[in-house]
Amino acid sequence: MSGWVTIAGLGPGDEALVTPEVTAALEAATDMVGYIPYVRRIAPRPGLTRHESDNRVELDRAAHALRMASEGKRVVVVSSGDPGVFAMASALFEALENGPEAWLSLDIRVLPGITAMLAAAARLGAPLGHDFAAINLSDNLKPWALIEHRLRAAAETGFAMAFYNPRSRSRPHQFARALDVLRAACGGETLISFARAVSTPEESITTVTLDEAVPEMADMRTVVIVGNRDTRRVGRFVYTPRSAS
C-alpha cells in the first residue's frame, strides 16, 4: 500500500461548504492530523486515527504527517477555510524542504477550501469585488511594524482589505492601533464589516463606518473586511463596484 498526504481545507464551518473532493479524501484516509477544533469537526470512524495537536506546533504536525505517509499511511492534514491561506499548506512545504530527500517523491496534494474572507464577503454582498489585500494581523510569525507598514500601504493605495486573526487576548491593543492607522489612511466614512463565526450557528455580521468601529467588535473568530473609497451599501448589502472612481 502506498502512502500519501493531502492537505485539505474544511471551509468556514458549515458541512455544506466542504467540497466533495475533501470529503472523498477524508473517507479514504487512515490518519488525520490537525489543530484540535478542526480535527474534531470530522466524525470518528473505524479505520481512521485522529491526531490532534496544539495550534503552535505546525511544523511538528507537518513533519509527523510526512513521516506517516512515508510509512505507507494515507494522511489528511486539515485546516479551516483554505489550507493555503495562513494555514497548514505552507507549513507542510517548509517541513518538506527541511526533511529527508525521500519525502520529495511522496504523493502530496493540496485541496482548496472556502476561505473565511470569501464566505464573509458572500454574506455581505460583494465587498471584495474590486482589488483587495488579505492581511494576517497576528504578529506570531512577523513583526508588528511590518503588519502596520503593509496595512498602511494597502489602505493608501486603495485596496479593500480582509484581516485574519484580527484580535486576541494576548495582544488586545494592536487592533485598536490598526483602526487608527486605517482611519488616518482611508477616512472615517469607509465601511468596515465584522463577520464572526461565518456559516456556524454563532454567526454574526455587523457593518459600521471606521469612525463607529471599536476594537471589541473583533475577536479571533472574526474576519474583518474593510472597503475602499467606493464601497457602499445598497439596501442590506455592502458592495464594491467593479470600476474604480
* 203 burial level (CB within 10 Å; 0-12, 13-18, 19+): middle
As measured in angstroms, the least distance from the Cβ of 198 to ligand SAH is 4
Tell me which stretch binds ligand SAH (CB under 6 A): 15-23, 27-35, 81-89, 227-235.
81-89
Q: Of 12, 112, 125, 127, which lies in the binding site for ligand SAH, with binding defined by CB under 6 A?
A: 12
Buried b (16+ CB within 10 A) or exposed e, 154-168: bbeeebbbbbbbbbe
- Per-residue x/- marks for ligand SAH, 32-61, CB under 6 A? ------------------------------
Per CB under 6 A, the segment of 46-54, 59-67, 205-213, 214-222 that binds ligand SAH is 214-222
Packing angle of the helix pair 172-186, 144-156 (nearest 10 deg): 20
From candidates 26, 110, 198, 225, binder to ligand SAH by CB under 6 A: 198
Q: How far apart are CA 155 and CA 133, in angstroms?
A: 9
Residue 197 in the binding site for ligand SAH (CB under 6 A): yes
Residues numbered 112-131 forming contacts with ligand SAH, rule: CB under 6 A: 115-116, 120
Write the burial class of residue 82 (CB in 10 Å: 0-12 exposed, 13-18 middle, 19+ buried).
buried
Strand order in 232-234's β-sheet? 125-126, 237-239, 232-234
Q: How many CB atoms lie within 10 A of CB 40?
A: 12
Q: Which residues pair with 90 in a beta bridge?
A: none
Smallest separation, CB 162 to ligand SAH (Å)? 9
Smallest gap from Cβ 76 to ligand SAH, in A, equals: 15
Using CB under 6 A, which of the segments 32-40, 42-50, 176-184, 221-229 binds ligand SAH? 221-229
x-or-dash string of contact with ligand SAH, 139-178, rule CB under 6 A: -------------------------xxx------------
Interface residues with ligand SAH (CB under 6 A) are 12-13, 79-82, 85-87, 115-116, 120, 164-166, 195-200, 220-223
